[in-house]
């Protein structure tokens, strides 16, 4: 599907407020109807504050990208190069820690365009695979990743506020 007027650019400190806004908005769109309000509020406050996003943006090997239709941010990515928090993963992979699209733009080719961008970055960086974690109850996202040839290889714990949740770890090999 074509995405005219769509571009992806690396987020900088000048984009922090916009990054926080789209991060909070898309996270709520994806998960608030499935989770307790107090757990959502704790996550938003602790994990998507300007201070936390600034820290993550300045972590070596981590990058944020904004996907825009014209001047409007409609999606974003957080990628981690060779700095996985998961011991089971080697340093040859590229992690998609966050990939979100505004609800109004789902099904309009933004997700595939973001993934194509990630794949190109991974190949340029000689990564052998791309991997991510997805909430076990997020069936729409799981189907999307399966269409992209991601396969499950494990699980890990994700804390949403005080709620312990399980993410499925999925991996896509780049070179067979």
The answer to whether residue 76 is catalytic is no
Produce one character per residue of 151-174: b if its CB has 16 or more CB atoms within 10 Å, e if not.
eeeeeeeeebbeeebebbbbbbee
pTM of the predicted model as reported, rounded to 2 decimal places: 0.92
- Does domain 6-128 correspond to CATH entry 3.40.630.30? yes
How does pLDDT run across 126-152, given as a tens digit for each residue?
Answer: 999 999 999 999 999 999 999 999 999
Q: What is the pLDDT of residue 5?
A: 87
> Dihedral angle at the C-alpha atoms of 72, 26, 53, 62, nearest 10 degrees?
-90
How does pLDDT run across 20-77, given as a tens digit for each residue?
Answer: 999 999 999 999 999 999 999 999 999 999 999 999 999 999 999 999 999 999 999 9
Of 43, 100, 105, 145, the active-site residue reads: 145
Mean pLDDT of the 112-125 span: 95
Domain assignments of the chain as residue spans, ordered by start = 6-128
């Amino acid at each position: 599907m074509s995405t005219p007027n769509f571009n992806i650019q690396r987020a900088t400190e000048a984009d922090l407020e916009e990054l926080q806004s789209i991060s909070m908005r898309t996270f709520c769109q994806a998960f608030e109807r499935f989770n307790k309000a107090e757990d959502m509020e704790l996550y938003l406050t602790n994990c998507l504050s300007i201070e936390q996003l600034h820290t993550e943006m300045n972590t070596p090997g981590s990058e944020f990208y904004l996907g825009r239709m014209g001047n409007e941010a409609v999606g974003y990515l957080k990628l981690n190069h060779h700095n996985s928090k998961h011991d089971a993963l080697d340093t040859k992979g590229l992690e998609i820690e966050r990939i979100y699209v505004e609800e109004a733009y789902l099904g309009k080719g933004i997700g595939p365009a973001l993934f194509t961008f990630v794949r190109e970055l991974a190949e340029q960086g000689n990564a052998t695979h791309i991997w991510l974690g997805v909430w076990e109850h997020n069936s729409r996202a799981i189907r999307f990743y399966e269409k992209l040839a991601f396969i499950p290889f494990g699980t890990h714990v994700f804390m949403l506020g005080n709620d312990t949740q399980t993410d499925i770890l999925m991996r896509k090999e780049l070179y067979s």
